[in-house]
Amino acid sequence: MHLKNSPRKKLASQLAVLLAAFSAATSFAEPATDATIPVLQIRADQVVAKMPPTFYGLMTEEINYSYEGGLYGELIRNRTFKADAIQQPIKPENYDPAKYYPVQIAVTNPPKFWNAVGSAKISLDTNTVLNDALNVSLKLDVSGASKNSPAGVANGGYWGIALQPNTTYHASFYAKAKDFNGDLTVSLVHVLNTNNITIHAIRDKSEKAVGFDWYLGGFTNGGKGLSGVSATNSPKKLETFDWYLGEMTFPFASAAVPKISGDWQKYEVTLTTGNIEPSKNNRLEISTTQPRSFWAKLFGRPATIWFQQVSLMPPTYKDRANGNRTDLSQLLDDAHPKFLRFPGGNYVEGDYFNEHFNWKQTIGPLEQRPGHRSCWGYWSTDGFGLPEFLGWCQDLNMEPVLAVFAGYTLKHDYIPAGPKLEPYVEEALEEIEYITGDASTKWGAQRIKDGYPNPFTLRYVEIGNEDWFDRSGSYDGRFAQFYDAIKAKYPQLKLISTVGYEHAGSQQVHSRTPDLVDEHYYRSEEEMESQSFVYDSRDRSNPTKIFVGEWATRVGSPTPNMAGALGDAAWMCCLERNADIVLMHCYAPLFVNVSDLGAGRSMQWKSDLIGYDALNSYGSPSYYAQQMFGTHGGDEVLATGAQNLPTYPWNIPARKRDGKDVPASTREVKSIFYSATRDTASGKIIVKIVNRADAPQPMKIEITGDIAIADEGTATVLKADNRDATNTLDDPKKVVPVTETVHGLGRSFTRTFPPCSITILELQAK
C-alpha cells in the first residue's frame, strides 16, 4: 500500500479495504454442500468494474532481435555497415539531444555479416560516404572479376534469409562506382553445405565412372528436396560443385542492374522466386562477371563499387511499405491486443544519454536515419523507428502508449529537474505532437510527410522507465517537470509514473498525483500464484490507478513452458478481477529470435512470449494463455467469491535478502484461480478457471442473480501432460487451446478441470 495519504485518508482507505474483504467473504455466504469441493460463486447482478477497453496490450522494445532480425521485414543484416561502430558514451552535461554525434568506424575491421564473393575484396570506407548520417560505406574491389568467376559481396541475413515459393522480394541499395563500367547481378542464392552430402560414383562393368548418385542428408529445409534446382542435378554439375569448398549454391532468383553511376544513386530490383521449398539457408549476392576495363588495367587502377543501405524486403503484413514480417504480425493480431507500450523498456533509456531513443533520429527517409547502439548490445539501424511503431499500431488496431525519455539512463547518468532538463521535456512534447498533431503543427506535418495522414489517438504517456533504479532521488522532480509541461499542453493525457507501489514509498512520486503507476513483476510460477490475490486488497480510494507495464512468469527458455502459462493465467485472473484499479497490463518481453541462444547472441533475456528464426515462428503456451484471455475479455467484471480452494506447499529455499540470511520456509499457495466477466453484447458470462495442480480438480460453480443459463456453452482449454511441456520451432503447436461445445451448464453445476489447465467457459444467458 502506498504511503502518501494523510492519516485520515489512510484510515478511510483501510476501512474500505476491510469492507471490501468483508463483502467478498460474506456476499456468498451460501454454504458449500460438500466441504471438500471448491466452490466459485459468481454474482451476475453485481458488476464490480467496467473492463477498460485497453486492458490487454503488448509491450515492446528492441531486445532479443525483436525488430532487426524479428518483426521488421528487413532481411539484410547490417545493411548500413555500422554493426561495429564505436559510439563513445557522452555524459549528460556534454550532450545536446538536438545534435547528431557521428560514430567512429574501425575501418580495419572486416565488414560484419558481409562476405566477399569470388576474388572480390571488401572493406569499410569512411572516405566515400553517402551522407553524414551514414558515414561509412562498403567498398568492393571487383578487379579480378571474369566471365567464369564472378566477384561481389554477399549477406546471409539474420541467421539466414527466409525465401518462400513464388514470392517477389524487393532489393535496393545506394551505390557509386569508379573504373567499373559493367553491370551487376543481384541474386537470391540458396546455399547448401556439402558436408552432409554423400556422393556415390556410378560405374559401369569396367569401373569407369558414368555418373553419380547423391544424397542430401542435412539439407536445411528438412530434406524436402530441391525443387527448382533440378537443372543442377547432373553428374557433371556435381563434379563442378566439388570446387565450391563445402558449399553448393543455387540461384533462386536474379536481376541485372545495367550500370552503376560515378555518383551515389539508389538502385532497385525485384526478385521473384520459382516453385521452391521454403528455406532459410539463403543469401543475397551482388556480383559482376565484368572484367576490369582495359584502361583501368593498364594504369593499375582497381574497379571499385561503394555500397550503402543494402536492403531486401519481403512482402509485408497488410502490404505496408517498410513494414513487418507477416507470420509474427499475424500471431500478434490473433491475440487482439488493444495497445502497444513502446519504445521500451530499457530501450527508451539507453546505457548513456547518446544511446537513448532519440525519436527525431528515427523518422524521415531511411537513409537519413543514423541508427544507434541499443542497450541490449547490438546496433539498431532505426529502420524500425517512431513512424514504424505507429504503423504497427495501425496494422493491429492498437492504441499507442508512449514512453518518453525522462533524463535518466541505465548507467545511472541523469539530469536533475531544472533548466538543463528542459530540452528533454521539449523533446517529449514534440514527440506527442508528432503522434497527435494535425497538419497545422510542425511535427504533425512531419508525420504526414512520413506517410501517416491521420493523427493517432494517444491517451497515456509514461515518463521514463523503471526510475526506481535512480537512487539519486531525482525522479520525483523530473516527473513533476514533465508532468506540468505535458498537462499544460495536453490536459487530457493520463500520465504514468514508472515507480509502482511494489517499491518503497520513498522512491514513489509524491510531488504530483500520477494518473497511473507502472508496476513490473517478473516472477517464478509459485511467486506469481502466491501473489495472485494481491490486488484484491489494494486501496480503492487511491485516485492513482495501476498499469502493469511488464510482467511474466519466467519459467522456460527461450520461451515459457506450461508452468509459465499457468502462473500467467493465475496472474491475469487477478488482474481481471481488479480491473477497477488495474487499467492496463502487458506481458514482457514479447519476442525472441531463437537462432543462436545464449548471452550476447540472438537472445538477451530468457522467457519471451513468441519465438522465431528467419523462417518460422511459434507462440509459447504463455502466448496462448494471452490469446485466450485477450480474446475473451468481456466488458464487465462480475463479483466473485470462492470457498474451499485447495492449496499446495511451496518450499522456498534459504536465501539472502538485502544482505540478510532468510531461512528456508514453506508457504501454502492456492492451486485454483478464477475470474468472471460478461460480454454485454452477447449476454455471455465468461468464466476463467486455472487448475495448476497435477490432478483433475472438480469445482462447483454457482451463479446468482436474476439470470437463467443455457445447458449448452463452450469450453476453451489449454492443457498439457506436465508443466514442462512447451512449444518450439520444431513442435510449434504442442500446447494450444482447443474449443469444444459442452453441456451440463446452468446456474449451478459441477465441472472437473483437467490437471495443469486453463479453461474458459462461455455460459450463455437465456
* Residue 215 Cβ vs ligand AHR, minimum distance, rounded to whole Å: 45
Q: CB-wise, 346 or 542, nearer to ligand AHR? A: 346
For residue 479, which of 535, 375, 407, 540 has the smallest C-alpha distance? 407
Q: CB-wise, 60 or 544, nearer to ligand AHR? A: 60
Q: Are 723 and 685 a contacting pair, CB within 8 Å?
A: no
DSSP 600: T
Cβ-based neighbours of 326, under 8 Å, separated by 6 or more: 314, 315, 316, 317
Q: CB-wise, 13 or 465, nearer to ligand AHR? A: 465
Each residue 595-634 as x (binds ligand AHR by CB under 6 A) or -, in order, gives: ----------x-----------------------------
Q: Is the dihedral of CA 598, 599, 603, 606 positive or negative?
A: positive
Q: Are 765 and 733 a contacting pair, CB within 8 Å?
A: no
* Residue 690 Cβ vs ligand AHR, minimum distance, rounded to whole Å: 24
* Residue 550 Cβ vs ligand AHR, minimum distance, rounded to whole Å: 5
Q: Are 385 and 362 a contacting pair, CB within 8 Å?
A: yes
Q: CB-wise, 343 or 713, nearer to ligand AHR? A: 343
State which of positions 513-552 bind ligand AHR (CB under 6 A).
550
467 lies in the site for ligand AHR, by CB under 6 A: no
Q: Are 52 and 585 a contacting pair, CB within 8 Å?
A: no
* Residue 499 Cβ vs ligand AHR, minimum distance, rounded to whole Å: 12
Binding range to ligand AHR, per CB under 6 A, among 32-40, 192-200, 341-349, 472-480? 341-349
Q: Are 630 and 336 a contacting pair, CB within 8 Å?
A: yes
State which of positions 547-586 bind ligand AHR (CB under 6 A).
550
* Residue 90 Cβ vs ligand AHR, minimum distance, rounded to whole Å: 21
Binding range to ligand AHR, per CB under 6 A, among 71-79, 200-208, 339-347, 736-744? 339-347
Side chain identity at residue 141, one-letter code: D
Q: Are 353 and 413 a contacting pair, CB within 8 Å?
A: yes
State which of positions 55-114 bind ligand AHR (CB under 6 A).
61
* Residue 315 Cβ vs ligand AHR, minimum distance, rounded to whole Å: 30
Instruction: Looking at 578-690, list the stretches that DSSP marks H as alpha helix, in order from N- to C-terminal side.
Output: 621-630
* Residue 518 Cβ vs ligand AHR, minimum distance, rounded to whole Å: 9
344 lies in the site for ligand AHR, by CB under 6 A: yes
**Region for 705 from its dihedrals, namely left if φ exceeds 0, alpha if ψ lies in -120 to 50, beta otherwise:** left
Each residue 431-460 as x (binds ligand AHR by CB under 6 A) or -, in order, gives: ------------------------------
* Residue 569 Cβ vs ligand AHR, minimum distance, rounded to whole Å: 20
* Residue 438 Cβ vs ligand AHR, minimum distance, rounded to whole Å: 32
* Residue 59 Cβ vs ligand AHR, minimum distance, rounded to whole Å: 7
* Residue 317 Cβ vs ligand AHR, minimum distance, rounded to whole Å: 24
Q: CB-wise, 425 or 592, nearer to ligand AHR? A: 592
State which of positions 22-61 bind ligand AHR (CB under 6 A).
61
C-alpha cell recorded at residue 429: 512534447
* Residue 590 Cβ vs ligand AHR, minimum distance, rounded to whole Å: 9
Q: CB-wise, 219 or 347, nearer to ligand AHR? A: 347
Coil, strand or helix: which one is 633? coil
415 lies in the site for ligand AHR, by CB under 6 A: no
**Region for 79 from its dihedrals, namely left if φ exceeds 0, alpha if ψ lies in -120 to 50, beta otherwise:** alpha
346 lies in the site for ligand AHR, by CB under 6 A: yes
DSSP code per residue over 133-179: SS--EEEEE-TT-BTTB-EEEEE-BTTB--B-TT-EEEEEEEEEEES
C-alpha cell recorded at residue 347: 530501450
Each residue 204-243 as x (binds ligand AHR by CB under 6 A) or -, in order, gives: ----------------------------------------
Q: Which residue from 38, 73, 589, 633 is in contact with ligand AHR, where contact means CB under 6 A?
A: 589
152 lies in the site for ligand AHR, by CB under 6 A: no
DSSP 679: E
Side chain identity at residue 550, one-letter code: E
Phi/psi of residue 591, nearest 5 degrees:
-125, 150
Q: CB-wise, 444 or 589, nearer to ligand AHR? A: 589
Binding range to ligand AHR, per CB under 6 A, among 257-265, 327-335, 340-348, 355-363? 340-348
* Residue 605 Cβ vs ligand AHR, minimum distance, rounded to whole Å: 5
Q: Are 551 and 288 a contacting pair, CB within 8 Å?
A: no
* Residue 606 Cβ vs ligand AHR, minimum distance, rounded to whole Å: 10
Q: Which residue from 291, 345, 385, 737 is in contact with ligand AHR, where contact means CB under 6 A?
A: 345
Q: Which residue is nearest to ligand AHR (CB)?
A: 345
For residue 156, which of 203, 179, 207, 190 has the smallest C-alpha distance? 190
Binding range to ligand AHR, per CB under 6 A, among 5-13, 221-229, 344-352, 418-426? 344-352
267 lies in the site for ligand AHR, by CB under 6 A: no
466 lies in the site for ligand AHR, by CB under 6 A: yes
Q: CB-wise, 28 or 408, nearer to ligand AHR? A: 408
For residue 540, which of 19, 7, 4, 8 has the smallest C-alpha distance? 19
Binding range to ligand AHR, per CB under 6 A, among 203-211, 338-346, 443-451, 641-649? 338-346
Encode 514-575 in three state secondary structure. Answer: CCEEEEEEEECHHHHHHCCCHHHHCCCCCCCEEEEEEEEECCCCCCCCHHHHHHHHHHHHHH
Strand 757-765 vs strand 684-691: parallel, antiparallel, or unpaired?
Answer: antiparallel
Total residues contacting ligand AHR (rule CB under 6 A)?
10
* Residue 381 Cβ vs ligand AHR, minimum distance, rounded to whole Å: 20
Binding range to ligand AHR, per CB under 6 A, among 25-33, 124-132, 190-198, 343-351? 343-351
For residue 121, which of 102, 141, 104 has the smallest C-alpha distance? 141
* Residue 113 Cβ vs ligand AHR, minimum distance, rounded to whole Å: 25
Q: CB-wise, 273 or 346, nearer to ligand AHR? A: 346
Give all strands (DSSP E) within 205-353, no chain letters: 209-216, 247-257, 265-272, 282-288, 304-313, 339-342
State which of positions 654-693 bind ligand AHR (CB under 6 A).
none
Cβ-based neighbours of 553, under 8 Å, separated by 6 or more: 523, 524, 525, 528, 560, 563, 564, 565, 566, 567, 568, 571, 607, 622
DSSP 262: S
**Residues interacting with ligand AHR, by CB under 6 A?**
61, 344-346, 465-466, 550, 588-589, 605
